[in-house]
Every structure is written in structure tokens, then in C-alpha cells.
Structure 1
Amino acid sequence: MKKVLIALDYNPVSEQVAKAGHELAKKLNAQVCLIHVLTDVSYYGMQYPTFMGYDGYNLSADMNLSTEMRNFAEEFLKTATDHLQDPNAGYHLAEGETETALLNYAEEWNADLIVMGTHSHSTLEKLLVGTIASRVLEKTKIPVYMVPIQKE
């Protein structure tokens, strides 16, 4: 395995996913690429404390939301990549439906492994909407390394 694609969402638990994926990639002597999929713009208005060295978004009422969100997401990915302190790590910002955009880029980049976190969701929520992780697992031909994340 020479290419490890690490999927990050805009949530502080992404730091755990990035760390676990990066440690695995180092053991495999593999190249790392962090990927984030820009989907629902309202998601980025969440106010979290600093994570992975990123202070968060400062939204203003008069901005061009689409362009600004893309810029913010790009800044988040760049900061997260720098946080790994790996000069060979890269990043990619995709847009669209999360699992489709993630799988399309994984194939385009020729990823050997996809790393993603599994958030702890209620059983009812999983039955009604499923999870991005489960949808990726249903559709991928690329091995997936799941990092379990529990809500505090």
C-alpha cells in the first residue's frame, strides 16, 4: 500500500482520525492525502474550539457564501495537513455528495486505502438515514480502515 486517503469532516474528532490514519500510513511507508468534502454550507457555521491547529470559521453576513465556504474549507485542510508535520502529505477538497465525491477521488488518486471515522450514532438514526461510512463500505472497491469515534 503506497497511498492512504484520510477523510476528514469538520468536527474536532477529525484529529483522532487524521492521527490514526497518518500513523498507519507511516508504518506502511505510504503517501498521505487528507480529503474533505464540501457539502452542506450550514455545517461550517458550527463553533468548535480549536482543533488540529485550526481556529474555525468567522462568518460575516455579507460574504459570498459559496466562495467563502470553499476558501474556509481549503484553509481547514491546509492547516490540518500542516498539523501532521509531514512534508509529503497532501490534501484535496471535493464537493458534492460525500460518499460519491470521496470514492471518485479515491479512484482518481489511485488510493490503496481509505481511512475514515465512525461517529457513534443512535440505532434509530442508523436505520433511518444510515451513515456515510456504511454507504462508502457498500460502494467501494478500495479497502477501508475505520477509526471508531465515541461521543464524549
Structure 2
Amino acid sequence: MYQRILVALDGGAASETALDHAILLARATGAEVEGVFVVDDSSPFLDVTGLDPVRLVEDLITAGESVLSAAATRLDRAGVPHATCLLGKHEIQDDIATTIVAEANGWQADLIVMGSHGRSGARRVIMGSVASGVMAQTSLPVLLARQWSEPGDGQARSDVKE
């Protein structure tokens, strides 16, 4: 079935849920997982007056390395063969979605797993949707793992356990 699963990670609760699903699928099918973090240095917030764009990109790289290290630890504990990939400025072609699809194609993934916040309306227009962009640009199957929370607790939870 699946032999190479690319999981897009951003450090948020939805991407943690996506990693949960990637681990389950990889264990069930014997697949290898590649965890990917995209450093988006084209974001408009980098142009905000008073902020050092070089420092912000350095902080994004550090955050990405931390997310990938934590994912590698979880994949190791689960016994899943894996690789991680921090994609920075020279890899970004247009936007995050395009970069994820290009990496999936280059790595010859046969499934993309990613989190979805499930935003709609104005919040989706303002914040965009990487998941929608990936689905529009790829012919690969895409598994979207929704972030959900218990009513009133404010904490995102995953229903998948290692």
C-alpha cells in the first residue's frame, strides 16, 4: 500500500495529529516517513518595521529544527524508518503548499499527511490554507488530520495514540 509517507509539520496541534496518523499508517504498512518543515521567509510579517528579518528567519529555522527533532524522536520510539527535511529559502518555489508538493514529488512519496485547522470564512481568507493549496496541486492522495478539542478546555487533542 503506502511505502513513502510525507508528513508536513509546523509545530502546531494539527500537525502533531498528522504525525500521529502518519505513525499509525507507517506501522501498519511498513512505510518510511519523511517529516518536512518549511521555513517561510516570504511572509509579510518579515517586513514589519522594527523587526530584524534575519533574526526572525534564524528563529524560524531554530523552531523548525526543534519540531523535526521532536518528530524524529517520536518516529524512533514508534520504530518507524524516517528522515526529516528542513526546507528553507533556496527550496521555496512559490509558497508553502508548492514547496510541500515539490518535496513530495522529489522524494517520491505516495501519500501526503498534514494537519488542518478547519478554518472557514474570513479567517481562511486572511490566513490562507496550505492544505487546500496542496490538494489543488498534487495528484497524490492527501490525508488531512483535523485538530479538535474538548468543549471548554481550550486544548487541542488527538484521538490517535502511538
Per the normalisation by structure 2, the TM-score is 0.70
Determine the structure 1 residue equivalent to 2:87: 94
CA offsets 1:93-145 (integer angstroms, 9 cap, x no match) = 11332101101110110000000111121323335664111111111021111
1:120–1:15 CA distance, 2 compared to 1 (3 A) = same
Q: Classify 1:137/1:71 alpha carbon distance in 2 versus 1 (closer, same or farther; 3 Å).
A: same
Percent sequence identity is 28
Query: Once the 2 structures are TM-superposed, how far is the Cα of residue 33 of structure 1 from its aligned partner?
Result: 0.9
- Equivalent-residue separation in structure 1 for 2:146 and 2:128 (angstroms): 16
8 Å CA contact retained: 1:120, 1:150? no
- What is the match of residue 82 of structure 1? 73
TM-superposed deviation, 1:66: 3.1
Kindly indicate whether residue 4 of structure 2 is the aligned counterpart of residue 3 of structure 1: yes
| Superposed counterparts of 1:47-62, under 5 Å | none
Q: Partner of 2:157 in structure 1?
A: none
The amino acid across from 2:38 in the alignment is V
CA distance in structure 2 between the aligned counterparts of 1:74 and 1:137, rounded to whole angstroms: 26
The residue aligned with 1:54 is none
C-alpha distance in 2, partners of 1:67/1:126? 27
Following the alignment from structure 1 to structure 2, what is the Cα–Cα distance between the partners of residues 141 and 123?
A: 26
Matched letter for residue 14 of structure 1? S
Q: Does 1:144 align with 2:149?
A: no
Report the Cα offset of residue 148 of structure 1. Answer: 1.5
SS of aligned partner of 1:146:
strand
**1:3-152 mapped onto 2 (5 Å cutoff):** 3-40=4-41, 64-84=55-75, 85=77, 86=79, 88-95=81-88, 96=92, 97-127=95-125, 130-150=128-148, 152=154
Query: 1: CA distance between counterparts of 2:26 and 2:7?
Result: 10
2:6–2:34 contact (8 Å) kept in structure 1: yes
- What letter is aligned with 1:78? S
Structure 1 pair 13/137, CA: closer, same or farther in 2 (3 Å)?
closer
Structure 1: stretches of 5+ with no match in the other structure: 44-60
